Structure 1
């Protein structure tokens, strides 16, 4: 089974992206960073690799998506409490992110943003009751929540 996640993102300006992501509180690993790439540690098991377009093309024959016009993925990160959702977004917006559509179902809160290159991110909190899959308990605790599909 996989033990770590590496998200590889093509970026138009590596230095700008390094500044953006480190302002979120992520740690830049200088051993795997230079003018063409940056390695950022999000957690003990999640890493984001930011790669210049030229460097990114070494790993794929496909065209690099224009993220201002298309969406190919939303990178979602969970946090431990609902207040962290807002704190994280505050840091992202202060660093130049563009906020997307928030959602609040009571048992789950999300806020989304796009980084300077248009890559989509979602920060969410989910009540442990919902994480357990006990939807009857969720409906009992959050009667205003939309019904969960069966």
Structure 2
């Protein structure tokens, strides 16, 4: 199993701050920088002659505008990242499956959806919570292309336990009951600790899933 994180940036990250500072510093004040006015003069700009250098063919003007728009868009995205205070924004749990089609049918029947933009014959991205929690189901052959080590034999060992929260006890019971009806195996009996309730199952490929509901009022 692989766990991938989508990373943002920390505002106090030294390298990011350095890059941001460099972006805001006028060229003339950077080491080895050239004053913008001198650069424009070297390239053939004339005051009042428009945005493009003298001699630049008209057919290149649209391409130049597109490049400028892309650059500005990249800068806007960069500044948006600088405002972030959270390092990990998304998580993708990647697991090997023996039959991708059957696994897709199994999790679809549990109510999960798949993102077609990141799904093909080798892998399928399952959406658990849109924008934050996903599971990438990969065929064993494709999974091996990312690692030199052997894939865990889930029939004999537990590779990892994926735990997800639910809104109610009924949701926990419903998910486990549906999974068992589809061929999964329940992992023991439900655990009731008063403030926390949980139960789980082992899916068609031996991956362990646990679902819990916590009552905030009782926990307090």
SS at match of 1:72: coil
* Residue 94 (1) aligns with residue 181 (2): yes
8 A contact 2:112–2:126 mirrored in 1: yes
Instruction: Say how many residue pairs are matched.
Output: 132
2:200 to 109, 112, 118: 112
8 A contact 2:92–2:134 mirrored in 1: yes
SS at match of 1:66: coil
TM-score w.r.t. length of structure 1: 0.83
Measured after TM superposition, the shift of residue 106 of structure 1 is 1.3
Cα distance, 1:130–1:4 mapped onto 2, change above 3 Å: farther
* Residue 29 (1) aligns with residue 29 (2): no
SS at match of 1:50: strand
Measured after TM superposition, the shift of residue 94 of structure 1 is 2.1
* Residue 68 (1) aligns with residue 155 (2): yes
TM-score w.r.t. length of structure 2: 0.58
How far apart are the structure 1 equivalents of 2:141 and 2:91? Answer: 23
8 A contact 2:194–2:218 mirrored in 1: no
Structure number with larger C-alpha Rg: 2
* Residue 40 (1) aligns with residue 99 (2): no
2:214 to 126, 137, 141: 126
Gaps of 5+ in 1: 135-150
- Quote the RMSD (CA, aligned, Å): 1.3
1:77 to 150, 155, 164: 164
* Residue 19 (1) aligns with residue 93 (2): no
Moved segments of 4+, more than 2 Å = none
Gaps of 5+ in 2: 1-86
Measured after TM superposition, the shift of residue 130 of structure 1 is 5.8
How far apart are the structure 2 equivalents of 1:84 and 1:119? Answer: 20
